[in-house]
Amino acid sequence: NLQPGKLDRRATLISGGPRPLGMMGGIDASFDAAIFIGYHARASTTDATLDHTYTGQLKRVWFNDRELGEAGLNAAVAGQFGVPVVFVSGDRTVTEEVAALVPAVEGVVVKEAIGRTAAHLLHPKESIERIAAGVTVGLGRRSRTQPLIFESPVTLRIEVADSGQADQVMLVPGMKRVGPRLVEYVAIDAVAAYRVSRLVRLLAE
């Protein structure tokens, strides 16, 4: 949904897939900060618009007993490289979700959920102005924003939609079945856990 011709000429764009790090493709320690624009709450969340984690098949995801959605998973990948998330925009639920993981993050609410597929929205120009101002604030306090870092090894736990999907996921070497729809994998670090979570997504479809 990006329009490449409207990007700043100094920006580069990664497109296509599959990409080992998904939306965080290209991240490394050379980056000063990450900003998350247009995010949504994790799967199985109330009062959220389009809550999901990757697809509708993954119902809950944890790193070391901390429940995460796509925002948290992406923040964990950035955090392994020492990169803090300084800004997030979306509905109120996702901004609160990220703030619980990264307390100093700047959040801008551009819509309020009415239901999973309905929301009360700001005017697009108002959203753009608030996002631009919020990014400036977030970058301004980057030095006080800590990366989201998980202690290694990282225990990845995922609840899928049905037991048949869990059967499929058990094809992954080292995966453990800890419930009818619950699987667990011990990864060497957050990036490895993230990559396995994406593999689980593919197997559970």
What percent of the chain stands above pLDDT 90?
96
- Average pLDDT rounded to a whole number, residues 158-180: 97
What is the maximum alpha-carbon separation in the chain? 50
Read off the pLDDT of residues 32-41 as tens digits, 9 standing for 90 and up. Answer: 999 999 999 9
What's residue 160's pLDDT? 98
Q: Is the pLDDT of residue 205 over 90?
A: no
pTM surpassing 0.75?
A: yes
Confidence of residue 20 (pLDDT cuts 50, 70, 90): confident
Amino acid at 9: R
Read off the pLDDT of residues 92-104 as tens digits, 9 standing for 90 and up. Answer: 999 999 999 999 9
**Would residue 40 show up in a list of annotated catalytic residues for this protein?**
no
Read off the pLDDT of residues 110-150 as tens digits, 9 standing for 90 and up. Answer: 999 999 999 999 999 999 999 999 999 999 999 999 999 99
Confidence of residue 1 (pLDDT cuts 50, 70, 90): confident
What's residue 10's pLDDT? 94
Q: Is the pLDDT of residue 59 over 80?
A: yes
* Mean pLDDT across the chain: 96
Confidence of residue 170 (pLDDT cuts 50, 70, 90): very high
Cα–Cα distances (Å) from 49 to 16, 19, 115, 131, in that order, read 26, 26, 6, 18
Structure tokens at 192: 């490895």
Question: What is the DSSP annotation of 3-66?
Answer: -GGGS-TT-----SS--TTGGGTT--TT-S-EEEEEE-PPTT-SS-SS--BSBTTEEEEEETTE
Residue 35 in contact with residue 138, Cβ under 8 Å? yes
- Average pLDDT rounded to a whole number, residues 62-68: 97
Cα–Cα distances (Å) from 178 to 96, 163, 184, 185, in that order, read 30, 11, 7, 10
Amino acid at 57: Q
Spatial separation of the C-alpha atoms in residues 125 and 6, rounded to whole Å: 16
Residue 51 in contact with residue 41, Cβ under 8 Å? yes
Query: Any long-range contacts for 162-171 (C-beta under 8 Å, 24+ apart)?
Result: 165/57, 165/203, 165/204, 168/203, 168/204, 169/200, 169/203, 169/204, 171/203
Catalytic option among 40, 52, 120, 123: 52
What's residue 180's pLDDT? 97
Residue 59 in contact with residue 169, Cβ under 8 Å? no
- Average pLDDT rounded to a whole number, residues 45-69: 96
